[in-house]
Structure 1
Amino acid sequence: MIPSRLTRTALVASTGLLVAGLAIGVQAQFEAQGLYSARDILDAEVHFESAPEGQPSEVADILLGDDRKVHAIVVDTHDSVGQNGDTLVITNQHYRLVNFEEEGETQHDIIVGTDAEALEAMPRYDQEWMNTARQRAREAWDSAGEGAESAWHQTREGLERIGEGAESAWERTQEGAERAGRRISETLDEWTRDSEN
């Protein structure tokens, strides 16, 4: 870890320089990057607004749905964050990605914007959680997707080989997949909210 990076991020979290877009000479970028590398996200430092003095945590995994979209990240928390070093599941609504230039390259930090109480209520990641989440997400997909196949298994080319009506079948599949993807996110968010209560 580069000490200046820790100092920069702590200052950003505690003084609000991020809003102004500057942090010790580094220009924060909020415009879309267009395409992101999962490897870069896995290398990103994770900082918690509820623990601005805490050491950076690490992204352990990225959870994708049958719609091939990110629905949550899994974070190994540093002991200084106050979560006993637990591995947390953090859904998309609870974090944001910050892009910045460092030594001529685009880098990323992840900022988790929840208070300490909400953070304590976040699901802890283990095999039992994953099995239950997988089942809930599958049920959400089935109930909202109206028979849409997993985007991992279905391709437009495959549908086009079917013949007449392939275009409308593809559109129905896409619409079902989009509905189902939204339902997967809603299911994980509801589960997180239920944990908070």
Structure 2
Amino acid sequence: MTQTRTARTILAASAGLFLAGLGTGAQAQFDPQGLYSTRDILDAEVHFESAPASEPSEVVDILLGDDRKVQAIVVDTHDSVGLDGDTVVITNQHYRLVNFNENGETQHDIIVETDTEALDAMPRYDREWMNTARERAREAWDSTGEGAESAWHRTRQGLDRIGEGAENAWERTQEGAERAGRRISETLDEWTRDSDG
């Protein structure tokens, strides 16, 4: 293990302590960055609180909803995590991103905050899971979006028209998309919790 990787592993294991307020200088490492590159996130090491001695795992995909927001990450787990190297889906409520400076550049680590039981119950990522998740997310969108278009396909033609009516319609469309996005996130979290039991 290189010195850099050792330092990152120690950083990841200590992140909770820093965030709790220990080490005033180190706390600045966790300030929000504001805008994130998916390339940087895909390069991030993944550390599991329930397996602190494990080797880092790897983000292999980022799942986005129709609202264009991240709904989950997909992680190839290292054998030492205890999941037989399975690829798992981790929804937003189960992880956090840690920013830190390394050789003058901002780097990221992902900390998965689950106990061993919840970790074992995380969905395995495969074609069947993706097809079912896509269908459930589509149903959540349809039931909550109230006619809102997918943000991927939405246009702003309404704003090109004169009059406040078009702007109000656009705002209602955005609000519907936001509600639908929250419902998609809740659906994936509920599904994950259901598989826990």
TM-score (norm 1): 0.91
Match of 1:77 in 2: 77
Work out the CA distance in 2 between the residues paired with 1:82 and 1:47: 12
Alignment of 1:139-158 (within 5 A): 139-156=139-156, 158=157
Work out the CA distance in 1 between the residues paired with 2:104 and 2:168: 46
- Unmatched tracts of structure 2, length 5 or more: none
Structure 1 residues 55, 26: CA separation in 2 closer, same or farther (over 3 Å shift)?
farther
Match of 1:160 in 2: 159
SS of corresponding position for 1:148: coil
Work out the CA distance in 1 between the residues paired with 2:145 and 2:179: 6
How far is the alpha carbon of 1:102 from its aligned partner?
0.2
Match of 2:30 in 1: 30
SS of corresponding position for 2:186: helix
Alignment of 1:1-197 (within 5 A): 3-14=2-13, 16-19=16-19, 20=21, 29-156=29-156, 158-161=157-160, 164=163, 165-197=165-197
Say what the alpha-carbon RMSD is for the aligned residues. Answer: 1.9
Query: Which one-letter code corresponds to 2:72 in the other structure?
Result: A
Structure 1 residues 14, 68: CA separation in 2 closer, same or farther (over 3 Å shift)?
closer
Tell me if structure 2 keeps the 8 A contact 1:148–1:177: yes
How far is the alpha carbon of 1:17 from its aligned partner?
4.5
TM-score (norm 2): 0.91
How far is the alpha carbon of 1:162 from its aligned partner?
5.2
How far is the alpha carbon of 1:10 from its aligned partner?
3.4
Tell me if structure 1 keeps the 8 A contact 2:32–2:99: no
Deviations 1:39-98 (A, max 9, x none): 000000000011111000000100000000001000000000000000000000000000
How far is the alpha carbon of 1:4 from its aligned partner?
2.4
Work out the CA distance in 2 between the residues paired with 1:28 and 1:61: 28
Identity between Structure 1 and Structure 2 (%): 75
How far is the alpha carbon of 1:28 from its aligned partner?
5.5
How many residues are paired up? 193
Tell me if structure 2 keeps the 8 A contact 1:46–1:58: yes
Tell me if structure 1 keeps the 8 A contact 2:18–2:27: no
Deviations 1:134-182 (A, max 9, x none): 00000000111100000011122x2224554210110110010010000
- Unmatched tracts of structure 1, length 5 or more: none
SS of corresponding position for 1:29: helix
